[in-house]
Structure 1
């Protein structure tokens, strides 16, 4: 029996996640997922690939605020209710998106914590609520889908068994096992064989309340080498080296782990830990 074993949102792209017992489904992902992003002075997105210390910033959501905390400064509080803000253009990979700048206080806080990037200050931006960022149509088979500031897809699904299989290979090659947090999934499932998510076309709630369509394997990057609490990279080669060797996709080069997905049924439905899924 396939069940949901954990749910996580990452309100600010590449900062720490928030584990949840349940979440509301939207076409852009779990509610509040990747609705904010750190950008450089030119509006280009920044992640742990460039600034591993981003992993040190803790994130909270209250009924009315986004709160960022770090050991070196008082918390930064951002009201959830949008205020009149400067609209700027930001860049996420190949996509140019309008976004709302969260102001100078956020800029000062982030730049003090993380430092400048390429001699410029950092800014915190919020995804524009009147903009639709479409998912790459090459993998959609004609289906519509959109996302916020995720790399490309609104949901990332990984199984516990896949992590166990990876860790067995890491240990066998003399490396340390890694926790699931390294892969920053939204939805973790149990009760399916290792890499079984790679062989699913869809995963649906047994109640038929919602359905995810599996779109493409997730190619992994340097972020998987970053400790998601400390921002430290103790082994810059792993787990990427082992994932590359395990690659089940002969036509693809690189390290892959987990599946990108979109929501095809169930907008505004609630997803919970313990939900039973069918494939």
Structure 2
């Protein structure tokens, strides 16, 4: 788009874009605040939709949460099928790690299965995080493991010490808490960490924060970071509200107990 504008060939660019059968765009949030890009994309979007072509757009947040995006684009994005892509499940994370191992100089069997499971359980926010954790373990093993044999569980935990918010005994992580609470209330994990303040989402979010504090004993600041960069005072207030509500409502307390049981299972 930028090059086409500089060279005075924007019409030719749009004509080419009108001819595609499928348009795939990643990180659409980066056009926020760019009026010229909005205008050009709006034109392309409408033309493709009118010609019954397929459009797939990816973003790190919902259309309504992208600041600086024109209302006409938000309405068009929202008219399609919106699907949240969550963090990979354990089995998927494990398969990804084994695939990464097979594509490296190592063999999948050269790392202990328990060590792989540790990485898959605690660094599954996304594929990049999985790969980064695996690379750190491999490097650590080369430098510090005394023998040249299979990479052990202890090597993995030592390599990743201080980077994982998890109790080694319980296997509970912030991601697991968010997943369990969101599923209990029929919400997405994105909604729990978003800025949305509707009552049902706020209630679930407060409970998730409370569980992070109770089960992981995380600092309020760290919990706030995990929930969309909220201030520590907001987290403190949420935890206090949950404590107070649990003492005044039997149904609320029962829900808390059920959620905690699910998280620990």
Q: TM-score, normalised by structure 2?
A: 0.25
Structure having the higher Rg? 2
Higher relative contact order (CA 8 A, sep 6+): 1
Identify the structure with the greater strand proportion: 1
Q: TM-score, normalised by structure 1?
A: 0.25
